[in-house]
Amino acid sequence: MKVIHRETVSLLHQQAGDILESFAEAAVQSSGDFGKVEEAAHVAFIELRNVLMSAGLTLSSEESHRTHHCPCCNEALHGWALPVRRVVTSEGEAAYRPFRYRCLACGDDHYPLEEANGLSGSQFTTGAKGLISEAAAQTPFGHVTRWLLAERGIPVSAKEVDRTAREVACWRAQEEERLKAAVFGEEAAHLRAEGEDPLNVVPALHEFSEWTEKSPAQISVDGAMIRSPKKGADGSLEWFEHRAGLIAPARRKDPGKTAYVGAVCSADELFDCLAATWRKGGHSQRMSVFVADGAKWIWDRVGLYFPDALQVLDVYHAAEHVASAANACWGEGTKEALDWRKRARGMLMEPGGPDAILRTLLSALKKPEQVADIKALTREVRYLFGHRHRMHYHALKQQDLPIGSGAMESAIKQLNTQRLKQPGMKWTREGADAVLRIRAAHLSGSFQQTVQRRHATLRAAAQRYQGVATPVAA
């Protein structure tokens, strides 16, 4: 090891030794109070983390002071040390001595080390941003600040948590854009025409490796509302819609992680993202069932984006519409309506049952004078007729395939309700969009991959300081 490194290492020994000594002293003084030992250990761990990280950053940055070249003109850069800088890493606060590099030809300043580690214009390393934002995906910003300070000794304000969550959500959104472009982009179409697959060069946002080859998939989408701080014309708070989707093993017993997507986005953006995830997942041979409620924006797109999926109308929505049809036919609360509703609910699950229900309702339509509410009945018959090919519940049940959108409802609960609808919460569209994206990544178990890819991208970009070797004249 170089002499300069020896100095840092011996300082590390000394600082760590001091921490261990204070800990031992506190343990002795606790005289039998294990709670006090636990407290002392917690403090010692935080101090050790900071000491380790500071020594680590110093050693690492000293080692990086090889010759850097100007990315514009390839001249060797001149560097000089700046005052010690405090930064926040995923393992606590740390200090190191930054270097400024200047190209004497161009006159520009450069900070290669900071660029490579996400520290340009930010005191948080890429890893710290990942830690902060994954916590923000799970719990309110105020809790994140308290948790990080108590557990890691990381001081971060709620505002910084918000800003960091938005930045990381942006990384994720950019990855989603690249994935979508590789399927639906104009350039992707050209590449495919030339026999190349543009999907090969974009990272997968979701991991499907645990899935068994033959297990069928459930695909679902839905929308839900979020409260905005803006007031509408009547003085009450406005609400706006977000959309979400999932790809999960259709049978509960089958292994495999669920892939979630969620954002404040248009129906097309959601379907683009979900379909691109499906294609990148290599599911072309897999049987799939698309389960959803009756929303028009959904069924308008399913055939286009998932042409091979078996379409299923959520059975609870079907039952609700059958019940409304019964009320429209015989009058709400009448014995006939109640009896038929009960029978029809069972019939929905029988082979040929949904068709039999429709036949009864269609023949009722032919005798409008006997119908309680002909307008409502027409509406319900139109709905059920439009979805009749999505109501083969008996056959689906036989194959142990889903007939309800319970998985999607639970996804909305996890993505939205549990995080965005806590008491008193209000969200701007941008703020809600950021949290939904990182929360979807977190729930899918693919959050840290996005952070790692970001780190790798920044490191790769900093390669431009390595300089271009001048060819030796022959």
* Residues near Zn ion (CB under 5 A): 70, 72-73, 75, 103, 105-106
Shortest Cβ 462–Zn ion spacing (Å): 16
* Phi, psi for 129 (deg, rounded to 5): -60, -40
Nearer of residues 73 and 225 to Zn ion, judged by Cβ? 73
Nearer of residues 69 and 206 to Zn ion, judged by Cβ? 69
Shortest Cβ 471–Zn ion spacing (Å): 19
Shortest Cβ 68–Zn ion spacing (Å): 11
Shortest Cβ 106–Zn ion spacing (Å): 3
- Please report, in angstroms and rounded to a whole number, the separation of the first and last CA atoms in the chain: 39
Nearer of residues 108 and 409 to Zn ion, judged by Cβ? 108
Nearer of residues 11 and 106 to Zn ion, judged by Cβ? 106
Shortest Cβ 468–Zn ion spacing (Å): 12
Shortest Cβ 29–Zn ion spacing (Å): 60
Shortest Cβ 458–Zn ion spacing (Å): 21
Nearest CA among 11, 13, 15 for reference residue 44: 15
Distance of CA 264 to the CA centre of its chain: 12
The position carrying tokens 């897999």 is 286
Nearer of residues 34 and 80 to Zn ion, judged by Cβ? 80
Shortest Cβ 112–Zn ion spacing (Å): 13
Nearer of residues 71 and 262 to Zn ion, judged by Cβ? 71
- Which residue type occupies 103? C
Q: Show the 3-state SS of the chain.
A: CCHHHHHHHHHHHHHHHHHHHHHHHHHHHHCCCHHHHHHHHHHHHHHHHHHHHHHHHHHHHHHCCCCCECCCCCCECEEEECCCEEEEECCEEEEECCEEEECCCCCCEECHHHHHCCCCCCCECHHHHHHHHHHHHHCCHHHHHHHHHHHHCCCCCHHHHHHHHHHHHHHHHHHHHHHHHHHHCHHHHHHHHCCCCHHHHCCCCCCCCCCCCCCCEEEEEEEEEEEEEEECCCCCEEEEEEEEEEEEECCCCCCCCCEEEEECCCHHHHHHHHHHHHHHCCCCCCCEEEEECCCHHHHHHHHHHCCCCEEEECHHHHHHHHHHHHHHHHCCCCHHHHHHHHHHHHHHCCCCHHHHHHHHHHHHHCCHHHCCCHHHHHHHHHHHHHCHHHCCHHHHHHCCCCCCCHHHHHHHHHHHHHHHCCCCCCCCHHHHHHHHHHHHHHHHCCHHHHHHHHHHHHHHHHHHHHCCCCCCCC
Nearer of residues 100 and 388 to Zn ion, judged by Cβ? 100
Nearer of residues 103 and 381 to Zn ion, judged by Cβ? 103
Shortest Cβ 69–Zn ion spacing (Å): 8
Nearer of residues 106 and 287 to Zn ion, judged by Cβ? 106
Shortest Cβ 146–Zn ion spacing (Å): 46
Nearer of residues 68 and 437 to Zn ion, judged by Cβ? 68
- Which residue type occupies 424? G
